[in-house]
Chains A and B, each alone.
Chain A
Amino acid sequence: QKEVEQNSGPLSVPEGAIASLNCTYSDRGSQSFFWYRQYSGKSPELIMFIYSNGDKEDGRFTAQLNKASQYVSLLIRDSQPSDSATYLCAVAEGGTYKYIFGTGTRLKVLA
C-alpha cells in the first residue's frame, strides 16, 4: 500500500515566522512531488512542485526533496495570516497521473 504521511496539525506559527511542513512517502518509485494549498470549502491550488533532490524556491515558498530519506518539505517564509490553510502533499510515480495525496497539514498563522 503506497502511502503519503503528513502531520494533521494544526501547526500554529506567529506572523512573520517560518512555517515548516513535512511529508514522507513510502514508494521509492515516486518521481514527482507537489504541494497544494486548500482553503476551507475551496479546491486545492498548486503552489509548488519538485522533481529533483535539493531545494527549489519560488517567492516565499521553498520545497525540499530528499529521495534517499523519502521526505519532502515545504517552507513558508514571512508567514502571513492569509497563509492559514490546509497544505496537501501529493506524490506521483514518474510519467503517471496516479497521485497519492497525504491527509494534509492545517496551518494557522497568528496575527
Chain B
Amino acid sequence: DTEVTQTPKHLVMGMTNKKSLKCEQHMGHRAMYWYKQKAKKPPELMFVYSYEKLSINESVPSRFSPECPNSSLLNLHLHALQPEDSALYLCASSQRDRANEKLFFGSGTQLSVL
C-alpha cells in the first residue's frame, strides 16, 4: 500500500482567507513533505518533516506554515495568500529503502487564489 491521502482535492480561496490542507499516510513512513508545483514545472520542495524534525526551504514565504500533529499527519496552513500562490500542492511521504528514500506523492490539492 503506497497511499498518501490529501484533502481537499480542490480549493478556491480569497487573499484574506485562512485555510488548511491536510495529508495522511498510514504506511509507517517517518518523513513527510509538502511540494508546490506550477503548470509545466517540476515539483518544488517547501517543507520536510523527517523523524519529527522540520526542515524549511528558506524561499517559502511565511504565509505558508506546516504542522505535523503526529507521524501520520501533515497539515499546511494558508493565510493571506497571493494569486501567484495558485498551484498544485503535493504532499508526499518517503520510505527508507537501503540507504535511499523513495518518495510517494498524494493526489494533490489544486489551489486557486482569487
Contact = CB atoms under 8 A, between A and B. Distances in A.
Per DSSP, chain B at the interface is strand
A36 B37 CA distance: 14
A72 interface: no
Interface centre among A36, A42, A51, A97 (most CB of B within 10 A): A97
Interface in B50-100: 50, 88, 90, 94, 97-100
A88 interface: yes
A97 B31 contact: yes
Interface centre among B33, B50, B99 (most CB of A within 10 A): B99
Size bracket, chain B contacts: 20 to 34
Interface centre among B2, B42, B94, B110 (most CB of A within 10 A): B42
A44 B43 contact: yes
Interface of B: 2, 31, 33, 40-43, 45, 48, 50, 88, 90, 94, 97-108, 110
20 contacts: A31-B99, A31-B100, A32-B101, A41-B110, A42-B107, A42-B108, A43-B90, A43-B105, A43-B106, A49-B97, A90-B103, A94-B100, A95-B99, A95-B101, A96-B101, A97-B33, A97-B50, A103-B40, A103-B42, A104-B40
Given A46-B104, A104-B40, 10 more contacts: A31-B100, A41-B88, A44-B105, A46-B105, A94-B100, A95-B101, A97-B94, A97-B103, A99-B45, A101-B43
